[in-house]
A and B are shown apart, each in its own frame.
Chain A
Amino acid sequence: MKPAPFDYLRPSSLAQALEMYAAATDVKVLAGGQSLIPLLSMRLAAPATLIDLGGLAELAGIEVDGSVVCVGALARHAEVERHPGVRATQPLIGQALRLVAHPTIRNRGTTVGSIVHADAAAEMPAVLCLLGGHVVAESVRGSRDIAADDLFVGPLETSLAADEIVTGAYFPALPAGAGTAFDEVSRRHGDYALAGVGVVVECDGDRVSRVRAGYISVSETPLVLDLGAAFADGVVDAAALDRAAALVTEQVEPEGDIHASADYRRHLAGVLTRQVVEQAYAATVVRQGAA
């Protein structure tokens, strides 16, 4: 349970980090380390070089304006979770973060690190996809935006080039009159979810106009489903929730493993959809009442 030897580099600027990353082969980037260090300790990964971003205060920021939440690559989950501007601008972020591992892990782990780790059982990749967010990837060649839909290409696999480091993740603000919720089922507090779902319900006056859901642990990459067909009459009632649960149960194709069978995960996806859509809809009413 000790990592294999590696060369350790600790850049003092992003420019230096990008140069180091471009020059090295067999290299990993270390931010919070809450996923990477267990992989190193179990020797599931043994890179020749590790670049520790820990000294780059320029990447630690969390910025909020009316339309977007920007989370820097070194911002810890706990900092994002506690940020009042984040909560006000896009409540789904905090609702999902409270389910990421334990508070002690969230004190150290980074939200961007969790996204680029690209685990389909993790909450934040699904949140970024559901909200239609993007990341900014930088390299010595320049900078580019990558939409969440284009980022996740397989289990633990992203479309980042070998020399690119993600420096920030951008989550669009919640539209007026919309509501969100996130919930999951896990065997123990803080464990990976057997299945989980985040939901955004948008309203046009009294009518529900759009219902979308992002799923974790039921697919190889984060899965976003448009549940609009179930809510075509514009209301959230028992019949519509039944239709939504049926729609999801038909569409998800989870894998079974030692923790849960494929059928059980599919069942959970349906049950959670029903519950979480109802919570997100209730939040639209609360938000409209507060406005």
Chain B
Amino acid sequence: MSEHRHDVRLSVNGAAHDVRVPARRLLSDALRTECGLTGTHVGCEHGVCGSCTVLLDGQPVRSCLIFAVSAQGHQITTVEGLSRADGTLGAVQQAFQECHGLQCGFCTPGFLTTITAGLRDNPDPTRDEARDMIAGNLCRCTGYQNIVASVRRAAELLAGDAGGVGEGERA
């Protein structure tokens, strides 16, 4: 007996994706497998590591803790949606490049989405606030120092470039 599949319209980075998935398909897997957006990385699959963080209606959430069927009707932004319309890096991405905020890069999509939303709520974080902003995301390479520096650099870039934030721009 084959498993029942649901027709779901996922709205990702401003584009509609009509997918047919079993109810148990996690949003993280649907984004990667059905939508072909492999920028969202799957680490622990139980909400601890933060790698799969995406924005749901602008708020960071774990895509491994949402079923794809539950995500219909919401605007989803993945790391692919953080670059500028012309394909160049968004402010948070550019800051990570400048400050060497990544090494292996596995955790990076989760940090980029989390920080994009975090800087919208707090555009000029102190170092402590930056650490707090990223406390729900694990990185096993960097020791976090350069990620904290990247948060602060991204805040500078955004302050000097009012139109620079990628999230929502392409939606």
Contacts and interface: CB of A to CB of B under 8 A. Distances in A.
Given A41-B64, A190-B135, A6 B23 contact: yes
B46 interface: yes
A138 B69 CA distance: 25
A34 B26 contact: no
Interface in B42-75: 45-47, 50, 53, 56, 59-62, 64-67, 69-70
A8 B23 contact: yes
A6 B69 contact: no
A70 B62 CA distance: 27
B114 interface: yes
Interface string A216-256: 00000000000000000000000000000000000000000
A6 B24 CA distance: 7
Interface stretch (A100-108, A129-137, A262-270): A100-108
Contacts of A5: 3, 22-24
B58 to A, nearest CB: 10
Contacts of A3: 24, 26
Nearest to B69: A8
Interface string A94-121: 0000000111110110000000000000
B6 interface: yes
B70 A104 contact: no
A1 interface: yes
Nearest to A107: B59
A34 B66 CA distance: 8
B136 interface: yes
Contacts, number: 83
Interface string A1-22: 1111111101000000000000
Contacts of A102: 50, 135-136
Contacts of B26: 2-3, 37, 41
Interface in B70-124: 70, 114
Contacts of A34: 47, 62, 65
Contacts of B46: 1, 38, 41-42
Given A52-B69, A102-B135, A108 B45 contact: no
B140 interface: no
Given A2-B29, A38-B47, 4 more contacts: A30-B70, A37-B64, A104-B136, A105-B65
